[in-house]
Amino acid sequence: MNEISEQLHGKGRYATRTRERVAQVLREERRYLTAHAIHEMLVARGISISLSTVYRTLELLVGLGVAATRGEENGEISYVFCTVQHHHHAVCRTCGRVEEVGCGPLARFARDLRAGQGFELEDHAIELYGRCSDCAKR
């Protein structure tokens, strides 16, 4: 019984094979995927699952804090595996891999912002794009 199963069990939800499979895709891929893409990947593996269930499971995982969403420019919603603590995502433009990074230097940024235009920073959303260590070598 893994971490997600324990969280589900603690909240009176069932830890089903179906849910574990959706979570497994996110754990393996580590990049932003739409519900549709996840569904297709599971079907390609010979697993029978409905698109509705994929949506519901993703919503559940986001609620548990183990998945994060991002609104794409075309209106689609993408999901990615995620840890609970506050962090940001560095997205590789070559392979799509998502790495988590902290946000230490933002403290100084917030101070400058308040001094400059009186804006009191409460929160921030950052996405970083570039090349992951593997792809940068090639």
Partner DNA sequence: AATAATTTGACGACGAATCGCAAATTCATG
Partner DNA sequence: CATGAATTTGCGATTCGTCGTCAAATTATT
Contact partner, 117, from Zn ion, DNA, a second copy, none, Cβ < 5-8 Å per class: a second copy
Among 43, 63, 65, 103, which residue interacts with Zn ion (rule: CB under 5 A)?
103
Among 100, 109, 94, CA closest to 127: 100
Contact 103, 124 (CB under 8 A): yes
* Distance in angstroms (rounded) separating the CA atoms of residues 79 and 105: 26
Contact partner, 57, from Zn ion, DNA, a second copy, none, Cβ < 5-8 Å per class: DNA
Q: What letter would DSSP give residue 94?
A: T
Among 2, 3, 16, 93, which residue interacts with DNA (rule: CB under 7 A)?
16
Contact 39, 49 (CB under 8 A): yes
Contact partner, 94, from Zn ion, DNA, a second copy, none, Cβ < 5-8 Å per class: Zn ion
Is there binding between residue 52 and DNA (CB under 7 A)? yes
* Amino acid letter, residue 10: G
Site residues, DNA (CB under 7 A): 8-9, 12-19, 34-36, 48-53, 55-57, 59, 74-77
